[in-house]
Each structure stands twice: as C-alpha cells, then as structure tokens.
Amino acid sequence: MNHTAHRRLHRLAACCQSLRGSHCQGADFFKGRSLSTGSKSSTDDITISKTTQTKDPLSPPPTPAASFPFSPNEWRRFPLVASADHTHDTKTMDVALPSPSTHPNLPVASCVLLALDSSSPTSPSPLSRPYTPISSPTAPGRLSFLIKAYRDGALSPRLHALQAGKDGVWIKGPFLKFKYSKNQFKSILMLAAGTGITPMVQCLHAIFSDPEDHTSVTLLVANRSPEDVLLLDWLDSLLAQHPGRLEVRHYLERLPSPPPSRHGPSWHAGFIDEGALRAAGAGREGGREGGR
Ligand SMILES: Cc1cc2nc3c(=O)[nH]c(=O)nc-3n(C[C@H](O)[C@H](O)[C@H](O)COP(=O)(O)OP(=O)(O)OC[C@H]3O[C@@H](n4cnc5c(N)ncnc54)[C@H](O)[C@@H]3O)c2cc1C
C-alpha cells in the first residue's frame, strides 16, 4: 500500500458519525477536527491541527511548561522501555515519561511526531512521522504506540529496529486531530482501517474510563485477514466490560471459512461499504439493526 493510500485510510479512520440522538448532526460530527482535506502531506495535516489545538478547550490547562512531558514546539527525547511484536508487521512500543507519576496530558484524540537519534545529543534526525498513542490519555508514566512497519518505509522499519532499554525516541506534540467531547452524542459510529484504529483507541479509552460518559459506540474495523486484526484482546476485554454499549464488527478482505471463532458473528467478508454502514444503522433514526 503506498503512502497516499495509507493517509487515505487514516482519513477514513478519522471519519466518525453520530448514529442517533436528538441533537444528531450526522456528518458534521467532528467538523473541522477531522484530518485535513486537500493537504499534500502528513506534515501539512499536523500544521493545520496545531492551529486548532491552541484554541481547543480540551488542550492542557495553562500550568507551567515543566509539568508537561511534551511540547508541540520542541523535540524531547524519551527512553524506549518496551518493544514487542503485536502482529506480523506491527509492534507495540512504550516510552517512559520522566517519572511514573508524570501525566501525558494528551487531548483526545491527538497524535505526536516521532523521530530518531541524530549525531547530536540535543536534536533528532530530520525525518519524522506522526503516530497516535494508544495508552490511556490519562495513564501516568508511559506512552504506548502501535506501529506498523512498511517494508520500504523511511522511518517505521527503523522504529521497529530500536532496542528497548538501550535506545530512545524523540517526541514533539501533542497535536489535536479531532476533539472528542463526552456525551455530545448518544451513540457514535467509528470506522477504522488497519492502524487507523489508533485514534479510535484513544476515544474508546476516554469514553469507557469515564463513569459519567454514557456514549455508546459501534466500531467497524477493516483489515485484509484475521492475522492483520489489531488489539483484538484489548477489544475483547472492553466488549466484556461494556456489553450493550460497545459493538465491534470486523470486515475482512479475506474471510476464512469457517470465520474466526472469537467475537462470534461479528466477522464479515468485504469492505466497509454502504451495506456495512446501513447494517450499523448509519443515518437512520434509532441507530443500528435491532436497536439497543
Ligand atoms: C495523524 C496520523 C497518525 C498516524 N498514526 C499512526 C499510528 O498510530 N501507527 C502507525 O503505524 N502509523 C501511523 N500513521 C502513519 C505513519 O505516520 C507513517 O506514515 C507510516 O509509519 C509510514 O512511514 P514510513 O516513513 O515508514 O514510510 P514512508 O517512507 O512514508 O512510506 C510509506 C509506504 O509508502 C511507500 N512509498 C513511499 N514512497 C512511495 C512512492 N513514491 N511511490 C510508491 N510507494 C511509496 C513505501 O514503500 C511504504 O510502503 C499515522 C499517520 C498520520 C497522518
């Protein structure tokens, strides 16, 4: 898959739509916060989001800069403390924040830029790419990423090659990509393809860790094969903890016969198309098939 196609997937992933609710705004949901259109590169996306972030009510409160582990204006280096294979081409990678009690202060949903060491101890090498942390935005001490390595990619294979306990990564950010506000909608439909699930994970953390947030979620996940499906265990545990408030439907280009046993009937062949959206209740008053 080329870079443009990957960026399109991330744009698709950022497309969330209200399913129902008296104040339903349909496609206007997250208007102005979704990944930018018409930009030429992911760096352009980030520049636009920077502007958005400074005005956003979810941005970190104005406390002394020293209490924030990251800065959108300067690079800071963090030790890589864990790196583990997740699927055949993805790894989970954790960096340690300055202390176990350091709060990441990530507005939901935001990404950061990652870069590698250079010959200078005070600055990274010039190549950087945006990645979306998947650890809870409120969990202190660590920041976790889910990173796919592209065979001929400039940065991702080099991130995979880093050694935990020895190497570090440089981080700049956070940059808000779209703003999640609790209880803004009764129900949300999320579409995620491949690693495009990472911003949805941030929203799911925010929704299901807040006892005052009553939002329901239908998550449609697109992948090529069962081996490509990401964070299945985590999704399983979330489903078990929140029956009735979370539904996950997997769409696979190559659906094996019989389909995977986990998640019962939630595996479907093909892409997230109009039929999939209709089945999930998109655009229909009252939500998905069968309601809740
Ligand atoms: C907001 C945002 C958040 C993101 N979050 C994540 C995340 O959480 N996890 C994650 O894994 N990724 C994420 N990404 C994607 C990530 O930023 C990188 O794009 C990805 O890791 C690839 O970078 P790379 O330098 O390895 O590959 P690149 O060098 O950028 O290349 C990507 C692919 O395109 C191919 N390619 C490059 N140039 C050409 C060309 N001229 N013609 C044809 N093919 C070409 C390469 O072979 C490779 O397969 C995110 C992207 C955005 C915009």
Q: Which two tokens stand for residue 286?
A: 């009252």
pLDDT value of position 255: 85
Question: 93 C-alpha to center of ligand 1: Å?
Answer: 17
pLDDT value of position 67: 63
Domain ranges, ordered by start, for the chain: 3-35+181-279, 65-176
ipTM value greater than 0.90: yes
Q: Can you tell me the distance from the alpha carbon of 284 to that of 19, in angstroms, rounded to the nearest whole number?
A: 7
Nearest C-alpha neighbor of 84 from the set 10, 25, 145, 36: 145
pLDDT tens, residue by residue, 236-272? 899 999 989 999 999 999 888 877 766 666 899 999 9
Nearest ligand 1 atom to the CA of 14 is 1
Q: 177 CB contacts (<8 Å, ≥6 apart)?
A: 14, 33, 34, 35, 45, 49, 109, 110, 111, 132, 199
Q: Which two tokens stand for residue 80?
A: 């890589």
Question: 239 C-alpha to center of ligand 1: Å?
Answer: 30
Q: Can you tell me the distance from the alpha carbon of 249 to that of 258, in angstroms, rounded to the nearest whole number?
A: 16
Ligand 1 probe mutation, 131, 201, 223, most atoms within 8 A of CB: 131
pLDDT value of position 105: 87
pLDDT value of position 260: 76
pLDDT value of position 210: 95
CATH architecture of 3-35+181-279: 3-Layer(aba) Sandwich (3.40)
Instruction: Determine whether the shortest distance from the Cβ of 127 to ligand 1 is under 6 A.
Output: no
pLDDT value of position 284: 59
Torsions phi, psi for 4 (to 5 deg): -60, -45
Helix locations, the chain, DSSP H: 3-13, 42-55, 156-160, 197-209, 232-241, 274-279
> Under a CB-based contact definition with an 8 Å cutoff, are residues 17 and 284 in contact?
no
Nearest C-alpha neighbor of 105 from the set 176, 210, 10, 190: 176
pLDDT along the chain (292 residues), means of 10: 43 37 27 27 31 38 58 97 98 97 93 98 97 93 97 98 98 96 95 98 96 96 95 92 93 85 78 93 57 36
pLDDT value of position 285: 54
Q: Which residue has the tokens 């903890």?
A: 241
pLDDT value of position 283: 64
Instruction: Determine whether the shortest distance from the Cβ of 160 to ligand 1 is under 6 A.
Output: no
Q: Which two tokens stand for residue 216?
A: 């329901």
Is position 177 annotated in a ligand binding site? Answer: no
Q: How far is CA 278 from CA 32, 147, 215, in A?
A: 25, 31, 20
CATH number of 65-176: 2.40.30.10
Instruction: Please state, for a pLDDT cut of 70, what percent of the chain lies above it.
Output: 72
Q: What string of DSSP letters covers 217-257?
A: EEEEEEESSGGG--SHHHHHHHHHHSTTTEEEEEEESS--S
CA angle 80, 128, 48 (to 5 degrees): 120
Instruction: Determine whether the shortest distance from the Cβ of 11 to ligand 1 is under 6 A.
Output: no
pLDDT value of position 265: 65
Nearest CA to ligand 1 atom 10: 147
Q: Which two tokens stand for residue 133?
A: 């942390």
Q: Can you tell me the distance from the alpha carbon of 274 to that of 263, in angstroms, rounded to the nearest whole number?
A: 22
pLDDT value of position 138: 85
pLDDT value of position 254: 84
